[in-house]
Structure 1
Amino acid sequence: MSHIEITRIFGKKTIGLTFFLGAAVMINAQEKQSIKGKITDQNGAVVPYASIEFNNKTNAALSDASMTDDSGSFALNLANGTYQVVIDAVNFKRKTYEIEIQGAS
């Protein structure tokens, strides 16, 4: 089993969001990873209804998106690969960065 944790702080002025991404290996034919995360501001308060896009850099068909729930959490399954992650939330500046998702081989 593999685990990935990524932390990013971003925001407008001093307001920020922290993005935690955990990936646990799922055994299936498509080699998809279970991605779970939580969006919080820099004070640790959850950010509900933030939109998170995972855009696969080599195959758009593997891209997916999610929205955080009331507790700032989200979950989805993604294939291994390099993704551009875009996070948007009301009253926060959009943040875009790149991550690589790799499961056990």
Structure 2
Amino acid sequence: MLTKDVSAEIHAVLTSLNEEGKEPTVALVKGRLSTKVPMPALITVIKSWKATQHIPKVEVAADNRSLSQEARIAALEAQVQQLTTRLEKLENTHG
């Protein structure tokens, strides 16, 4: 599955809220993000931000519709190769 790193976007939202003097909440952060991020991930990020001003890396599933056909094909080919390699290892192990 393709993923998208949204850490920078979340950092920008949290910094913006901080500069505005607003306490970051799940609702405020979620409302300002252009990417859908699961609530448990947002809760973890906000807790980390409040404690250390640090944001852990956050990745969400990439929207395949936004990718070009060539990029989607390349991603699928890479996934097939990974699965083939795993299958070969399993077959060799259980022979």
Q: Normalised by the size of structure 1, how large is the TM-score?
A: 0.22
Structure with the higher strand share, 1 or 2: 1
Return the structure number with greater relative CO, CA threshold 8 A, min gap 6: 2
Q: Normalised by the size of structure 2, how large is the TM-score?
A: 0.23
Structure with the higher helix share, 1 or 2: 2
